[in-house]
Amino acid sequence: VIKGAYSLLVMSPRKLIAARDPHGFRPLCMGKYNDSVVFASESAALDACGAKFIRDIEPGEIVVVDNKEIRSIKPDFGEEKKQSLCVFEYIYFARLDSHIDDVSVYEARLRGGAALAHSFPADADLVAGVPDSGLTAAMGYAKASGIPYEIIFHKNSYVGRTFIKPTQEERENSVRIKLNILEPAVRGKRIVLV
């Protein structure tokens, strides 16, 4: 048994093997493109290439595809494994238009924002999100709290991920280039920032 968080794909000219870790930390789904079986970490990737979603691979499942058949192997790991999808898939990593384990990422972010509003109510003039992953959760917070939702950042679309920069200084410099505050939207306002 390989321990850790993974979705794994092994290919040869005659065989394709896909595996998901026993806890289901990382997502993996299967689709069909014409006569071919395809795999992706999330359903939006299947949509993007025109493949039809078939199903999610179960935690611990191994799927073997060759020119004759599709076989599913579900090894007995000797103990009950608790399914534990990484929460960051729903709140940050996955595309908003994906479904993971039959759950819409969009709806999960809305529900997360609503749960945040119920757990941490605030007296504020507006609710805003940090682009892009925080926007939908902010809409959920705004709807649940009754506080108006506003856009307060302009995002430079040409700057990639900033959290993976090697130093804090590089991350801060990249964020300054990536996001700019819309000053008229925030002037004199009490803001819930998600």
Residues 138-171: tens digit of each pLDDT: 999 999 999 999 999 999 888 777 777 889 998 8
Can you give the pLDDT at residue 103? 93
Cα-Cα end-to-end distance for the chain: 39
77 has pLDDT over 80: no
DSSP H or E segment with residue 192 = strand 191-193
Other CB atoms within a 10 A radius of the CB of residue 185 amount to 14
The C-alpha atoms of residue 19 and residue 27 are separated, in whole angstroms, by 10
Decide if 85 contacts 100 (C-beta within 8 A): yes
Q: Which pLDDT band, with edges at 50, 70 and 90, does 79 fall under? A: low
Between 176 and 82, whose confidence is greater? 176
Query: Helices (H) and strands (E) in the chain — how many of each?
Result: 6, 13
Mean pLDDT computed over every residue of the chain = 92
Q: Which pLDDT band, with edges at 50, 70 and 90, does 78 fall under? A: low
Can you give the pLDDT at residue 1? 67
Strands 99-100 and 36-40: unpaired
Distance (Å) of CA 5 to CA 21, 59, 171: 6, 10, 26
108-119: b (≥16 Cβ within 10 Å) or e: bbbbbbbebbee
Please list, in sequence order, all residues whose beta carbon lies within 8 angstroms of the beta carbon of residue 62, skipping any fewer than 6 positions away.
17, 18, 19, 72, 73, 74, 75
Can you give the pLDDT at residue 80? 66
30 has pLDDT over 90: yes
1-10, 87-96, 103-112, 154-163 — which is least confidently predicted? 154-163
